[in-house]
Amino acid sequence: MSPATVIREVGLRDGLQSIATIVSTAHKIEWLNAAYAAGQREIEVGSFVPARLLPQLADTVEVLAHALTLQGLTASVLVPNLQGAERAIDSGAHLMVVPLSASHAHSLANLRKTPDEVVAEVARIRAARDAAGSRTLIEGGVGTAFGCTLQGEVAESEVLRLMQALLDAGADRVSLADTVGYADPVGVQRLFEKARALVGERLACAHFHDTRGMGLANAYAAWQTGITRFDACLAGIGGCPHAPGASGNVTTEDLAFMLERMGVATGLDVPALLALRQRVQGWLVGETLHGTLWQAGLPRTLAPALA
Amino acid sequence: MSPATVIREVGLRDGLQSIATIVSTAHKIEWLNAAYAAGQREIEVGSFVPARLLPQLADTVEVLAHALTLQGLTASVLVPNLQGAERAIDSGAHLMVVPLSASHAHSLANLRKTPDEVVAEVARIRAARDAAGSRTLIEGGVGTAFGCTLQGEVAESEVLRLMQALLDAGADRVSLADTVGYADPVGVQRLFEKARALVGERLACAHFHDTRGMGLANAYAAWQTGITRFDACLAGIGGCPHAPGASGNVTTEDLAFMLERMGVATGLDVPALLALRQRVQGWLVGETLHGTLWQAGLPRTLAPALA
């Protein structure tokens, strides 16, 4: 039976991409195996971008190949363009996430394309996928959906328009991301309700950062609208190179604990995630990690049930 | 016009009581004045407990006397028993908060009384208040309402029974507190809805700790049930001496920012709170502070409106 919610681990991609310390392929595979053993069944393993731009993710093809050996694991990669998508298709990734910034300014700075040029690229990616007879799913990830460090406010109408445009261009599903930590729970509820009214279950995932401490509050607000898939990073690593101060994805182990404590099954072994965090911490000496559960520990009342 | 929500500052009491560094009376008065200037209109200024037990709060009578000179400020104190309540009445405090632990084990460890003995004490406090012709309000603060580090689970029925018993004994209103950081937003929603159904607006305040990162999520969940008053501590200081690892109240400036970002007026000047945090930090060298907004800063999109 599937758990009620899925936490998609994006630490190996969104987390590591902003970390200076290069993590070896062997350690990434160790992370993958331990995350899988802790119950994680959806993992973003890397990004098909030029290795010179992101040396940290240069081994994505190797990490993905290992991920594909893990029974029942949905392995996703980020692809910024058609070239990346072709590599994802060739490698047999289950899912490729194509990022789009609803903020025009952030889109130009981060992707060097306008949002509508990204939509056009998704149409080309869909054509390539279909031509290859591939089953790699396409997810359009709408970022800076709640505001932008560069341009300020981002209109909800623009977020919804681009989300629909991605689906019209051939994306199988979409997600909404607070790339820079601007979202609040009331805004999350409003936008996710509108988005679900528009595209239903094709709105597949919520991606929050904890920049101003609202990551879990926002996840809760999204969950209340019916969202059951959340991106998160072990140890809360991650950020955005074009969003100064916007570091820190929602922390996997904290989110898992909150959901379990809420009575919402995640399929995850929280103590095993805490143990994995400790191993990963050992590979990231000098890097800033986040999260609270590792410090406070499991509460007495829940510890036996979770252990 | 009153703001839509009130953040009651409890940093001078709940925050400082677990801080080793003694803050001078002059600094406390500086804090009070700056908090008042930043828009705070409800402040818990100290505790009427024996000075030998809590030297940090030995100057409560002086701090309260100053607070009473600030026009429109509701000054509250914590009182553990009749002796403390008599001092609060004599000093002219606007409100006294009588703590009760719904956890029997925590109650004995922390208050050296059973919960029902605390209810009986509230009846004596009410009689003393009325006999004195005083207008000092009595708030019964039901703590460990979501679980306890000592006894584990705390039954909702017991929390509700004790809350009603406090009102029956003469408390003017009650509050619910997650003293040890065990609450999750679904549990908050459930208990606050039941409590409001039972006692309506006499449930006056929500008190959360951020021990496992859920402080803001819990505040949001309580707000959704109609609660409009929240305890919080500047810089997230505070904890509970009988709850190891349970340090950190919800952070005033983070909560204020979340509410304002939600479009819910607090009457607070968030940049002024951040400036005050910096001053208080200078008095608490070596102490562990909390919070996120001071690190990330105000988002570009909101900074002009708040500044």
Residue of B nearest to A215 (CA): B217
- Pick the residue of B225, B292, B293 with the most A CBs within 10 A to test the interface with A by mutation: B292
Contact yes or no for B296 and A147 at CB 8 A: no
- Taking CA–CA distances from B291, the nearest residue in chain A reads A213
Nearest to A220 among B149, B212, B217 (CB): B217
* pLDDT of B235: 95
Question: Cβ contacts (< 8 Å) between B301 and chain A: which residues?
Answer: 147-148, 152-153, 182
Check pLDDT > 90 for residue B184: yes
Ramachandran area for residue A235 (φ above 0: left; ψ -120 to 50: alpha; else beta): left
* Count of C-beta atoms within a 10 Å radius of residue B292: 22
∠ Cα B235 B238 B243 (to 5°) = 145
Among the residue ranges A23-37, A76-90, B162-176, B278-292, the one predicted with the least confidence is B278-292
Q: CB of A245 within 8 Å of any CB in chain B? A: yes
Six-digit token string for B186 = 């679904």
Residue A53: other Cβ atoms inside 10 A: 12
d(CA B76, CA A53): 57
Per-residue pLDDT tens over the stretch A220-275? 999 999 999 999 999 999 865 544 444 589 999 999 999 999 999 999 999 999 99
Sign for the CA dihedral angle at B128, B130, B134, B135 comes to positive
Is the Cβ pair A213, B264 closer than 8 Å?
A: no
Contacts of A221 in chain B (CB under 8 A): 220
User: How far apart (Å, rounded) are the C-alpha atoms in residues A2 and B3?
Assistant: 45
Within 10 A of B119 (CB to CB), how many other CB atoms are there? 23
Chains A and B: how many Cβ contacts under 8 Å?
A: 118
The pair phi, psi for residue B13, each rounded to 5°, is -115, -75
Contacts of B184 in chain A (CB under 8 A): 258, 261-262
pLDDT in tens, A122-144: 999 999 999 999 999 999 999 99
Minimum distance, in Å, between the CA of residue A229 and any CA atom of chain B: 18
pLDDT of residue B2: 64
* Mean pLDDT of the A97-109 span: 96
Tell which of B180, B212, B259, B266 to mutate to test the A interface (max A CBs under 10 Å): B212
pLDDT the model gives residue B302: 53
For residue B301, give the nearest of A182, A186, A246 by CB distance.
A182
| Nearest C-alpha neighbor of A87 from the set A49, A54, A123 | A49
User: B239 and chain A: CB distance < 8 Å anywhere?
Assistant: no
Q: From the list A246, A262, A296, which residue is nearest B185 (CB)?
A: A262
Confirm or reject contact between A235 and chain B (CB < 8 A).
no
Which tens digit of pLDDT belongs to each residue from B57-102?
Answer: 999 999 999 999 999 999 999 999 999 999 999 999 999 999 999 9
Mean pLDDT within A174-198: 96
B109 token code pair: 């460890």
In this complex, the residue of A180, A214, A296 whose CB is nearest that of residue B216 is: A214
pLDDT number for residue B246: 46
CB B218 within 8 A of CB B184: yes
Instruction: List the one residue out of B156, B161, B143, B148 whose CA is nearest residue B186.
Output: B156
Q: Per-residue pLDDT for B209 more than 50? A: yes
Quickly state the pLDDT bin for A20 (edges 50, 70, 90): confident
Alpha-carbon distance B29 to B60, whole Å? 11
**At A3, is the pLDDT very low, low, confident or very high (cuts 50, 70, 90)?**
confident
| Closest residue on chain A to B211 (Cα) | A296
Cβ-based contacts of A153 with chain B (< 8 Å): 301
Calculated CA dihedral for residues B35, B71, B80, B114, nearest 10 degrees: -90
| C-alpha separations of A232 from A15, A29, A78, A125, A142 in Å | 9, 18, 15, 26, 16
* pLDDT score, position B124: 98
Tell me whether residue B233 is one of the annotated catalytic residues. Answer: no
Partner-chain contact A300 B149, CB within 8 Å = yes
B153 and A297: CB-CB below 8 Å?
no
Average pLDDT taken over every residue of chain A: 93
State whether A251 and B213 contact (CB < 8 Å). Answer: yes
Measure in Å the smallest separation between the Cα of B40 and chain A Cα atoms: 21
| Chain segment B30-61, per-residue pLDDT in tens | 999 999 999 999 999 999 999 898 999 999 99
What 3-state class would DSSP assign to A67? helix
Average of per-residue pLDDT across B281-298: 90
- The Cα–Cα gap between A261 and A259 comes to 5
- CA-based nearest distance A213→chain B, Å: 6
A-chain CB neighbours of B152 within 8 Å are: 300-301
How large is the ipTM?
0.94
Q: Please spell the DSSP secondary structure of A121-149, one letter per residue.
A: HHHHHHHHHHHTT---EEEEEEESBTBBT
Structure confidence at residue B306 (pLDDT): 46
Beta carbons of B213 and A217 less than 8 Å apart? no
Q: What is the mean pLDDT of residues A184-198?
A: 98
SS (HEC) of chain B = CCCCCEEEECHHHHHHHHCCCCCCHHHHHHHHHHHHHCCCCEEEEEECCCCCCCHHHCCHHHHHHHHCCCCCCEEEEECCCHHHHHHHHHHCCCEEEEEEECCHHHHHHHHCCCHHHHHHHHHHHHHHHHHCCCCCEEEEEEECECEECCCECCCHHHHHHHHHHHHHCCCCEEEEECCCCCCCHHHHHHHHHHHHHHHHHHEEEEECECCCCCHHHHHHHHHHCCCCEEEEEHHHCCCCCCCCCCCCECEHHHHHHHHHHCCCCCCCCHHHHHHHHHHHHHHCCCCCCCCCHHHHCCCCCCHHHHC
In this model, does residue B243 exceed pLDDT 60? no
Report which secondary-structure segment, H or E, holds A175. Answer: strand A173-177
The pLDDT value recorded for residue A170 is 98
Which residue of chain B is at minimal alpha-carbon distance from A290? B213
Res. B113: pLDDT tops 50: yes
Please return the burial class of B305, using the count of CB atoms within 10 Å of its CB with bins 0-12, 13-18 and 19+.
exposed
| Residue B146: predicted pLDDT | 95
DSSP β-bridge partners for residue A76: A44, A95
Sorted by sequence, the CB contacts under 8 Å of residue A27 that are 6+ apart come out as A283
Give the span between the Cα atoms of B65 and A298, in whole angstroms. Answer: 42
Q: In this structure, what DSSP letter does residue A79 have?
A: -
Does A185 sit within 8 Å of B262, measured CB to CB? Answer: yes
8 Å CB contact between B73 and B42:
yes
Q: Alpha-carbon torsion B264, B265, B270, B273, what sign? A: negative
Cα–Cα dist B82/B94, whole Å: 16
How does pLDDT run across B197-207, given as a tens digit for each residue? 999 999 999 99
pLDDT recorded at residue B288: 83
Of A181, A254, A299, the CB nearest to B147: A299
Q: Is any Cβ of chain A less than 8 angstroms from the Cβ of B212?
A: yes
User: Does the distance separating the beta carbons of B291 and A214 come in below 8 Å?
Assistant: no
How far off is chain A from B211, nearest CA to CA, in Å? 6
Nearest Cα residue in chain B from A214: B216
pLDDT of A307 strictly over 80 = no
Task: Identify which of B150, B211, B216 has the shortest CB distance to residue A213.
Answer: B216
Rounded distance between C-alpha atoms, residue B124 and residue B112, angstroms:
17
Judge whether residue B305 has pLDDT over 60: no
C-alpha B8/C-alpha A103 separation (Å) is 37
Domains parsed from chain B with CATH numbers: 6-306 (3.20.20.70)
The structure tokens listed for A169 are 């261009």
Return the pLDDT at B287. 86
State the pLDDT at residue A149.
85
Question: Which of A147, A210, A301 comes nearest B147 by C-beta?
Answer: A301
**Binding-face residues of A in 147-186 toward B, CB within 8 A:** 147-150, 152-153, 180-182, 184-186
Q: How far is B154 from chain A (nearest CA, A)?
A: 9
* Chain A residues 259-278 with a CB less than 8 Å from chain B: 261-264
What pLDDT, on a 0 to 100 scale, did the predictor assign at position A268?
Answer: 97
- DSSP symbol at A250: P
